[in-house]
Structure 1
Amino acid sequence: EGACTNLNSSLSDQDNNGTDTNKFVQPDWQVALWAIAYAAIVTVSVIGNLTVIWIILAHRRMRTVTNYFIVNLAFSDASMSAFNTVFNFVYAIHNDWYFGLGFCRFQNFFPITAIFASIYSMTAISVDRYMAIIHPLKPRLSSFSTKVVIGTIWLVAFSLAFPQCFYSKTVYFHPRTICMVDWPEADGGKHRLIYHITLIVLNYLLPLMVMLVTYSIVGVTLWGSEIPGDSSEHYQNQIQAKRKVVKMMIIVVVTFAMCWLPYNLYFILGSFNEEIYKQTYIQQVYLAVFWLAMSSTMYNPIIYCCLNQRFRAGFRRAFRWLPFVMVTEDDEVQLQHSRTFRMTRSYRTETTTTVVHQNSIDQEDKETTAKLIKVM
């Protein structure tokens, strides 16, 4: 779906005139080009995101709070690409719904759910990075708490998408069947408009604002001061590692925002002026903005592979059966050598000394931030 309305509403509005002819018919060569473009999205997205899930779940070292949210993000993207992109592309090309009422309800329900899960997984990652770097002494999310957050995200997503499922129906206009969301029109269409605006706020604007604030603060902290020349090599490596992770996630968020912006604008304009859906050129516009929105599902694995050494090692291991992919010793070290030891550290105040035991990754977060604060 995206962050605005169901993917089929524009097509439903196009067909409501009930004419026997389809003015949106395209030449075969044009359909073939669009088919290749959409097939590329589905192939790269499904293979890439499933590989990301395997890399994280199959390697103990990769099972961190941030990466569990990345698993949720990858699952959402792969699911939407597999279950939404192809069917909506076929509908957009033929303007005829072949898949029955049950799948019509699913198609209007699941995309909203998947997009909500995707963007709030990104939001959770930004908050986790913010807490780890800005407030390192506060408790981090446990494995159980992380699963609770992920479950809550999906529960809210299901609730938010339910109206789309409830009001979905298929209608036959000779010679085609359309899949549409039949909103109550007692208040002059206000239900639909209010719902669309709510989705824009909750599925796009609000999470992007949260991520803008958190990553801005984290960015100022990590890049706002130079690494001291006399700092240890371990400290410098930790700062650089944190910068890379934050940079990677910022690119993921910006990519998502740019891909979905034209799609949201398309439906915002349509909410105020439905006549644009009846223009002969609108199908090409819809296919273009829909392709761009759906392409957001395939970029993340590419970003992870390019910007993160461990994910890059994981991709090499996953595709080592290809003749041009070589797995190095360093790749094995990156994925297999997990931190199994625990460290002891002391936090000294003017009057007391407290010894606290935690995982070494939390230790690195706190030591790094403490030294960075001293430098600033």
Structure 2
Amino acid sequence: MGGCAMRTDTNISSGPEGNATGITAFSMPSWQLALWATAYVALVLVAVTGNATVIWIILAHQRMRTVTNYFIINLALADLCMAAFNAAFNFIYASHNIWYFGRAFCYFQNLFPITVTFVSIYSMTAIAADRYMAIVHPFQPRLSALSTKAVIAGIWLVALALAFPQCFYSTITVDQGATKCVVAWPEDSGGKTLLLYHLVVIALIYFLPLVVMFVAYSVIGLTLWRRAIPRHQAHGANLRHLTAKKKFVKAMVLVVVTFAVCWLPYHLYFILGSFQEDIYYHKFIQQVYLALFWLAMSSTMYNPIIYCCLNRRFRSGFRLAFWCCPWVTPTQEDKMELTHTPSLSIRVNRCHTKDTLFMTGDITPSEATNGQAGGP
């Protein structure tokens, strides 16, 4: 979780420090710092540009404004904020172990990372739940636009509540001339409060939602890949809708797996540190932390790449967004892909028989204009 980075720095600061000259035991050679800075700058640029483009593609085109895509906007916004407001500042702090950004930003830095991490993974969970209802229970009512906004607002409120304790106990200290942003938890026997809080946070923003999504996508996969299409419809709209559903599910499963792989080493690092705090006293831990933190933050830049590679509509959107690049050539088909409204025959077809409705029933009237089975 993003906010845990402060705890790493807190423990690192317990080691030998320099004086007020701004040099600490964790200062790196210039060449090494330049390499890490290049890696982090590249990450931030790709993540911010990619996620901002995803948000533009959805908001600028009426055809893309579906329930699922609103959750994708929420996910992209959280990833954009994580890259812009956590990755860069936390790298500067971890690379030298001196806090340069003042008390107010110390509070923010211990509140915001956990908040946006929670928002990211629960936006993925909401997408999985929406797809589950659309595909496994196509006759059940779908979320309205108002309900979707309420769910998104609820995700943010719960995320802020979960992150508040770490923000509340944040403070600025000076350790042998070096300024630190630390989380000063109340004294208790053996640090049980700290350990319990971090285990609860890791469970809520990693393990629990991943289990829920694993179950949801397993059921969705079994439902889709077992679904048979009547022979007389094997080359019609139903086949296209079913294929689109499968592609979208594959893309979202890849998004979830990428998130899980990127964040697992980071969470294990903190779980290990909770039981063996002496690992934070070794100077090599700085390099380990920077590598694990980069891997975790890199999860913010992969989703736009996945959408672009696996979704035709997003691919058209990216070509339109980057039309000024010499290697990008948007076509008229790209514009039609995002603006063209399907003919009325699709809606008539989905209402023709109960069997047809079962095949296309996860496309609400508002999503019918989206053309890709409730996906982007």
Q: Could you say which residue in structure 2 is the equivalent of 1:374?
A: none
Whether contact under 8 Å (2:78, 2:117) holds in the other structure is yes
Contact 1:61 1:338 in 2 (8 A): yes
Question: In 2, distance between residues paired with 1:363 and 1:309?
Answer: 15
Partner of residue 4, structure 2: 6
AA of the residue aligned to 2:85: F
CA contact (8 A) 1:238 1:364 kept: no
CA deviation map 1:81-116 (0-9, x unaligned): 101111110011111001111101100100000000
- Between the two proteins, the alignment pairs up a number of residues equal to 358
Aligned equivalents of 1:358, 1:250: Cα separation in 2: 23
What amino acid does structure 2 have at the position aligned with 1:90? Answer: I
**What is the alpha-carbon distance in structure 1 between the residues aligned to residue 95 and residue 318 of structure 2?**
35
The answer for the alignment partner of 1:35 in structure 2 is 37
Q: Is the 8 A contact 1:55 1:311 kept in 2?
A: yes
- Note if contact 1:343-1:358 (Cα within 8 Å) is conserved in structure 2: no
Please tell me the residue identity of whatever aligns with 2:265: P
Structure 2 CA distance for aligned equivalents of residues 317 and 19 of structure 1:
52
For the residue of structure 1 that corresponds to 2:186, the secondary structure is coil
- Picking from 229, 236, 249, the partner of 1:233 is 236
| Map of 1:118 onto structure 2 | 120
Query: How far has the Cα of 1:223 moved from its partner?
Result: 1.8
What amino acid sits opposite 1:261 in the alignment?
L
Give the drift of 1:222.
1.3
1:1-376 pair list within 5 angstroms: 1-2=1-2, 6-17=4-15, 19-20=17-18, 22-224=24-226, 229-230=231-232, 231-339=234-342, 343=347, 345=351, 359=365, 361=367
1:313 touches 1:327 (CA, 8 Å); kept in 2? Answer: yes
> Which runs of no fewer than 5 residues in structure 1 stay unpaired?
350-356, 369-376
Cα–Cα, structure 1 residues 216 and 363, in superposed 2: closer, same or farther, change >3 Å?
farther
Instruction: Tell me the SS of whatever aligns to 1:189.
Output: helix
- Give unpaired runs (5+ residues) of structure 2: 356-362
Change (3 A) 1:180 1:361: same
C-alpha distance in 2, partners of 1:216/1:289? Answer: 29
**Aligned to 1:7, what secondary structure does the other structure show?**
helix
Other-structure match for 1:373: none
**Distance of 1:261 and 1:131 partners within structure 2:** 28
Of 231-240 and 213-222, more deviation after overlay is shown by 231-240
Amino acid aligned to 2:40 = Y
Q: 2:251 touches 2:307 (CA, 8 Å); kept in 1? A: yes
- Three-state SS of the structure 1 residue aligned to 2:143 is coil
Mapped partners of 2:148, 2:52: distance in 1: 20
State how far apart, in whole Å, the 1-side matches of 2:144 and 2:119 are.
20
> SS of the residue aligned with 2:189?
coil
Distance, in Å, in 2 between the alignment partners of 1:258 and 1:27 is: 30
SS at match of 1:8: helix
1:339 Cα shift? 4.8
CA shift for structure 1 position 221: 1.3
Could you give the per-residue CA deviations for residues 251-303 of structure 1, whole angstroms, max 9, x where no partner exists?
A: 00000000000000000000111100011210000000000000000000000
Q: Contact conserved, 2:14 with 2:281, CA < 8 A, in 1?
A: no
Q: For 1:155 and 1:340, how far apart are their aligned partners in 2?
A: 40
Q: Secondary structure at the match of 2:146?
A: helix
Identity over the aligned pairs, expressed in percent? Answer: 56
Q: TM-score, normalised by structure 2?
A: 0.90
- Do the aligned partners of residues 358 and 20 (structure 1) sit closer, same or farther apart at CA in structure 2, a change above 3 Å counting? closer
Query: Is the Cα contact below 8 Å between 2:342 and 2:369 reproduced in 1?
Result: no
Corresponding residue for residue 360 of structure 2? none
Tell me, in whole angstroms, the C-alpha distance in 1 between the residues paired with 2:147 and 2:110. 30
1:30 CA displacement: 0.7
Change (3 A) 1:99 1:333: same
Structure 1 residue 190, shift from structure 2 partner: 1.0
By how many angstroms is 1:185 displaced? 1.4
Tell me the amino acid that sits aligned with residue 12 of structure 1.
T
* TM-score (normalised: structure 1): 0.90
Give the secondary structure class of the aligned counterpart of 2:4: coil
1:111-144 CA-to-partner distances (Å, cap 9, x unmatched) read: 0000000000000000000100000000111111
CA shift digits 1:174-233 (9 cap, x unpaired): 221111101111233111111001001100011000100000001111123565654242
* Counterpart AA for 2:5: L
Does the CA-based 8 Å contact 1:136-1:362 persist in structure 2? Answer: no
Q: Measure the CA separation in 2 of the matches of 1:219 and 1:51.
A: 29
